[in-house]
Structure 1
Amino acid sequence: MTDSIAPPKKPQIFPPLDREAELDRLAARMRAASGVGLQVLGLIGTQAENLIEMLPAQVRSGLERATAAALEQSFNAAAATRRGRIADAPDWLTRAIAIGTGAAGGFGGLPSALAELPVTTTIILRAIQTIADEHGMDPALPDVRAACLRVFAAAGPLDNDDGVDLSFLTMRLTVTGSAVHGLIAKVAPRLAVPLGQKLAAQAVPVIGAAAGAATNYVFTSYYQDVARVQFGLMRLGAQTGEDMDVLTADLRKRLT
């Protein structure tokens, strides 16, 4: 008995894009991504800048290290699910799974929220890889793997500054083989802040499970939207021959 081999995937053919209309569409999506975090802040009754101060000092001091560890685990785990031909999930299913893990993480307070961190990070990274594939890019290629991880360098759903800070879109990141440590070292400090906010929301007494579920929904939705902005710009750049710096500058004008 021989193993069955899946037929090669047919290349995706995309219609030509109207540059200005596509940039308008991506700007609208970026605005939507930046607005979803208000739900969580309303639920826990605090401001985004106060969330990390709610964490114990020991957790705050180890946030960047915990973030890097979560990214290390997620980077390979998410890719392995694609090699194992686990079907890509639609957005709603990915968010539903993330809601479940967030509720479980928040139910036990900070210890369970910390344990849940790499699981949710893997779910989100797998969703980002799916979106790259939707845009005709192979998540197995080093440059695309780097682009998937670069999405995590966005400011986060509880920060309302994304309309101006699009620097993550032009971060120069490359992956050569399995050497991802340098890449993660660049992304982890930026991701540590939103993940710290997520942990703090899940650790709120009494409503931890509800806050965990809501936070994971918001985070998953946010990074899916940001991924579609990034890979939309990359696809537009491939069609027009323009550099990401130029396209990002034009996108920023629409947001400011």
Structure 2
Amino acid sequence: MTGTEVMPVDIDRELRALAQRHRAARGVGIQVLNLVGSQAENLLERLPDQAKQRLEEATTRALEVAMRAASQSRGVVPDQKGWLNTAMATAMGAMGGAGGLPTALAELPVTTTVLLRAIQGIAAEYGFDPGDPEVQKHCLTVFASAGPLADDDGADLGFLSARVTLTGATVHGIIARVAPRLATVLGQKLATQTVPLIGAAAGAATNYAYTSYYQQMAHVHFGLLHLSDRSGRTHAALIDEFRQTVTARN
């Protein structure tokens, strides 16, 4: 990856900082749940059957389009600050939610592109080359951390190890593995945007939550990889220590 020279680092301090980011990521979904209230239950059931059946296919296409667009845009548009990525996605969510399901579906690949580009920017912050196919696969695996509305609280830790061991797999193969989980997450987002009367507000809130979440999880993901490079500790060992740090402070 970076080949950074091993140097003395305060591993415990850095793991605690990453654990704090992890907790912040898990907390952003509460804003959305508070917004939609009781209507947040069984969100996926709000979607038409046809939309639910085609959601995974739409998610796969959105990831493929996002990967191409995010990578190609790097030579034209510089990486943005995290707050600006969040602001852009929030505005798009409001526009997507204003027209109900049709506009929410149209907004899906655009938001996915913004999210992926933000993840690539964070990878670059830690010294990784977003143009490297291995780094691109790592960027995609961040999406395997589910999302702030996900029911599986363990999913955001499982992606750190299980999804990254797919060495030798193509980017398309990674997309195929990530898409089913992301489809469920984005299905919840789409359903939230169809809440009567508050679709635009719900769209803005969900995009704010998702952008904040995935940026924090990207910091956790690439922060651990970078810490492994600098400390000489194996990535697997650091993941185990990170899990213990998160569990100890929950």
**TM-score normalized by the length of structure 2:** 0.91
What amino acid sits opposite 1:113 in the alignment? A
Paired residue for 1:113, among 104, 109, 116? 104
Percent of matched pairs sharing the same residue: 56
CA distance 1:142–1:175, shift in 2 (3 Å):
farther
CA distance 1:20–1:164, shift in 2 (3 Å):
farther
Residue in 1 aligned with 2:64? 72
1:166 aligned counterpart, secondary structure: helix
Residue in 2 aligned with 1:23? 15
User: What CA RMSD, in Å, does the superposition of the two structures yield over aligned residues?
Assistant: 2.1
Paired residue for 2:197, among 200, 206, 216? 206
Q: State the distance in 1 between where 2:91 and 2:155 align.
A: 32
Structure 1 residue 193 displacement after superposition: 1.3
What amino acid sits opposite 2:138 in the alignment? A
What amino acid sits opposite 1:67 in the alignment? T
Residue in 1 aligned with 2:35? 43
Contact 1:163 1:252 in 2 (8 A): no
Aligned residues: 243
Q: Is structure 2 residue 188 aligned with structure 1 residue 197?
A: yes
Q: State the distance in 1 between where 2:4 and 2:205 align.
A: 35
Gaps of 5+ in 2: none
What amino acid sits opposite 1:173 in the alignment? L
Structure 1 residue 161 displacement after superposition: 4.4
Paired residue for 1:226, among 212, 217, 221? 217
The structure in which a higher percent of residues are helix is: 2
**TM-score normalized by the length of structure 1:** 0.89
Contact 2:63 2:175 in 1 (8 A): yes
Structure 1 residue 204 displacement after superposition: 0.9
Contact 2:5 2:229 in 1 (8 A): no
What amino acid sits opposite 2:109 in the alignment? P
CA distance 1:212–1:240, shift in 2 (3 Å):
same
Aligned counterparts, 1:72-221, within 5 A: 72-84=64-76, 86-159=77-150, 161-162=152-153, 165-170=156-161, 171=163, 172-174=165-167, 179-221=170-212
1:62-120: CA deviation from partner (whole Å, max 9, x where unpaired)? 11111101001000100001133x11110111111111110110000001000000000
2:38 aligned counterpart, secondary structure: coil
CA distance 1:80–1:175, shift in 2 (3 Å):
farther
1:132-162: CA deviation from partner (whole Å, max 9, x where unpaired)? 0100111011111111111000021113644
Gaps of 5+ in 1: 1-10
Q: State the distance in 1 between where 2:7 and 2:93 align.
A: 38
